[in-house]
């Protein structure tokens, strides 16, 4: 028995991923678990007002908080839906215990692989403290994109109703190989899969055609406005969402303050408006949308209702510091 299979049986964390209890019928049990496979990183959030001063100091409020698109999605899914949520990710020894504690405090079952060599991924988030709350990322993926096929076991799908892949997994060789193995497993079980493309910058480097090829068989695509337009070459996000929905059964394009578009069978079926919010930090708003959207689908909501839940979570997310929802007794504006 491999380490991954052993941990899949016991639900342990440490050297390999862990699976859940229960039986998995085709498509997963009704109201079953959400398994997120994705990145776990340490976010260093620097909130500054006005332009950065090149070559000298810029005053900023700096906090260290847990992050990662995959981890954020998992935490928001629990917060918004109370679902059984599991996260398979890879971290370094330097911060493994901290990330496991933070995920557990958020109600997520952490299935963390500890990398013996690579440090935990780190993202520096430069957040404009003005009206927009816009952010710029400096990313060192570290261990987060070192997930590999050996970290996977089909037993991880036991009890799982849906699986979500963070798009960052498509941007390194080892994690792309993992994606292929995961999609093969989900096809054999009939478990639906969603993907968030994650980064227009990394998508450009990978190549649109390559990304779409790797996503063959995915059920739900959740791109941002920029990602949808990049994937199609179309300037209008509605046209882009419609075109993508000819390749994916369901496309939900996240438009930030313009809400979300729900597209199926080559046409936009709904435009869900955003909720009013006063942005403090837009980091993780798309992850909040995705987590709430998936939790709502598992609870039995239709795509439009689930998109409304996503927009509501996104509005709450931008009014917080960092990419995670609040936890009991934990202030998300404090560092580790």
Tell me the C-alpha distance between 199 and 147, whole Å.
Answer: 18
The one-character DSSP state at 66 is: E
Tell me the C-alpha distance between 239 and 44, whole Å.
Answer: 36
CB atoms within 10 A of CB 172: 18
Q: Which two tokens stand for residue 81?
A: 């839906």
Nearest to 88 by CA among 184, 26, 27, 8: 8
Can you give the pLDDT at residue 49?
A: 82
Can you give the pLDDT at residue 272?
A: 98
Can you give the pLDDT at residue 66?
A: 93
Can you give the pLDDT at residue 330?
A: 41
Can you give the pLDDT at residue 154?
A: 96
Q: Name residues of the chain where pLDDT drops below 50.
A: 1-30, 329-336
Tell me the pLDDT tens digit for each residue of 83-99: 799 999 999 999 999 99
Q: Which two tokens stand for residue 229?
A: 């337009």
Tell me the C-alpha distance between 231 and 209, whole Å.
Answer: 8
Domains delineated in the chain? 3-39+68-118+144-317 (3.40.1190.20)
Tell me the pLDDT tens digit for each residue of 179-233: 999 999 999 999 999 999 988 888 999 999 999 999 999 999 999 999 999 999 9
Can you give the pLDDT at residue 24?
A: 27
């Amino acid at each position: 028995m491999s380490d991954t299979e052993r941990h899949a049986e016991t639900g342990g964390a440490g050297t390999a991923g862990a699976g859940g209890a229960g039986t998995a019928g085709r498509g997963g049990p009704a109201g079953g678990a959400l398994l997120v496979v994705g990145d776990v990183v340490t976010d260093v959030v620097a909130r500054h007002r006005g332009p950065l001063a090149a070559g000298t100091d810029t005053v900023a409020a700096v906090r260290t908080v847990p992050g990662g698109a995959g981890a954020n999605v998992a935490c928001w899914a629990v917060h918004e839906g109370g679902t059984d949520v599991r996260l398979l990710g890879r971290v370094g020894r330097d911060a493994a215990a901290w990330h496991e504690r933070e995920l557990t405090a958020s109600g997520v079952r952490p299935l963390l692989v500890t990398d013996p060599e690579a440090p935990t991924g780190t993202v520096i988030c430069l957040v404009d403290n003005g009206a927009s709350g816009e952010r710029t990322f400096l990313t060192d993926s570290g261990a987060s994109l070192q997930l590999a096929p050996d970290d996977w076991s089909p037993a991880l799908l036991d009890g799982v109703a849906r699986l979500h892949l963070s798009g960052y997994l498509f941007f390194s060789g080892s994690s792309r190989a993992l994606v292929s193995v995961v999609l093969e497993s989900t096809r054999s079980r009939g478990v639906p899969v969603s993907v968030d493309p994650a980064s227009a910058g990394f998508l450009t480097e990978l190549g649109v055609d390559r990304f779409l090829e790797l996503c063959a068989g995915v059920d739900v695509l959740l791109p941002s406005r920029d990602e949808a337009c990049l994937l199609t070459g179309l300037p209008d996000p509605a046209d882009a969402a419609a075109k993508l929905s000819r390749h994916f059964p369901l496309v939900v394009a996240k438009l930030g303050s313009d809400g979300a578009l729900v597209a199926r069978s080559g046409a936009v079926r709904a435009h869900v408006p955003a909720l009013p919010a006063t942005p403090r930090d837009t980091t993780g708003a798309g992850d909040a949308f995705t987590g709430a959207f998936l939790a709502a689908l598992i609870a039995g909501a239709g795509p439009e209702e689930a998109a409304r839940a996503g927009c509501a979570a996104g509005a709450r997310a931008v009014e917080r510091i960092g990419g995670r929802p609040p936890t009991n007794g934990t202030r998300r504006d404090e560092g580790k």
